[in-house]
Amino acid sequence: MEAEVIRIYESEPDLDKIEQVVRVLKDGGIIIYPTDTVYAMGCDIYQNRAVEKLSQLKGMKVKKNNFSIVCADLSDIADYARVSDKAFKVMKKAFPGPFTFILPASNKLPKILQSNRKSIGIRVPDHPIPKALVRHLGNPIITTSVKDDVDDLLEYPNEIDIIINQNMNKADMIIDGGWSGITPSTVVSALDDEFEVVREGLGDFDEIL
């Protein structure tokens, strides 16, 4: 079954359409959605079958996943990860923004996402669509970057037509939020208070230290 494509404008997300996407998430569907960096693929973190399907699509075993989750704001993070005072101060400067912080996972994180690494990536993107989805869903969604299946030079597609064509049989719903960037988030390990940039991306970590 091919994905349903829904147009949502970044400037003023239509709440009826946001609720339509939320229903797909609650039914265990996989969605593709825009962020402040690149397009992402995700699902409700509490829908185990959806997490399993997403793992298969990404070619990984569930317990070896490296998924990150989108939270609406800083107040949600402590429910899913353990955050030191120092890490909180840095994330307060970074979020919302193009960063992913890898933190020790909390026991409240769904078991299916408690990977062998015992850590979880946290995102609070500076984009109204994923933030609206998380708020209306009532809990985080998974975020894993959508990569180009064909173009070896352009790893992350930014044209929505390409994203739709390559993912029609992978997702249940694709949000057309227009063009996106081609640079993913900067990933920062915050497993202890010695922060380490493990992937250079759109965010400049030196600016928030």
| pLDDT for residue 65 | 87
Instruction: Taking residues 152-178, report their average pLDDT.
Output: 94
Q: In what order do the strands lie in the sheet with 119-123?
A: 4-7, 173-176, 31-33, 40-42, 141-145, 68-70, 119-123, 99-104, 186-189, 196-199
Nearest to 110 by CA among 87, 88, 142: 142
CA 36 to chain centre: 10
Q: Average pLDDT of the chain?
A: 95
Nearest to 159 by CA among 174, 129, 130, 180: 180
Side chain identity at residue 54, one-letter code: L
CATH architecture of 4-207: Alpha-Beta Complex (3.90)
pLDDT 10s digits, 50-80: 999 999 999 998 888 889 999 999 999 999 9
Tokens of 150: 């064909």
Instruction: Taking residues 33-57, report their average pLDDT.
Output: 97
| pLDDT for residue 190 | 96
Confidence label for 30 from pLDDT (cuts 50, 70 and 90): very high
Confidence label for 38 from pLDDT (cuts 50, 70 and 90): very high
Confidence label for 4 from pLDDT (cuts 50, 70 and 90): very high
Question: Which residues lie below 8 Å from residue 60, measured CB to CB, with a gap of 6+?
Answer: 66
pLDDT 10s digits, 90-141: 999 999 999 999 999 998 899 999 877 789 999 999 999 999 999 999 999 9
The residue ranges of every structural domain in the chain are: 4-207
Instruction: Taking residues 165-175, report their average pLDDT.
Output: 97
State yes or no: pLDDT of 197 exceeds 90: yes
| Distance of alpha carbon 191 from alpha carbon 208, whole angstroms | 18
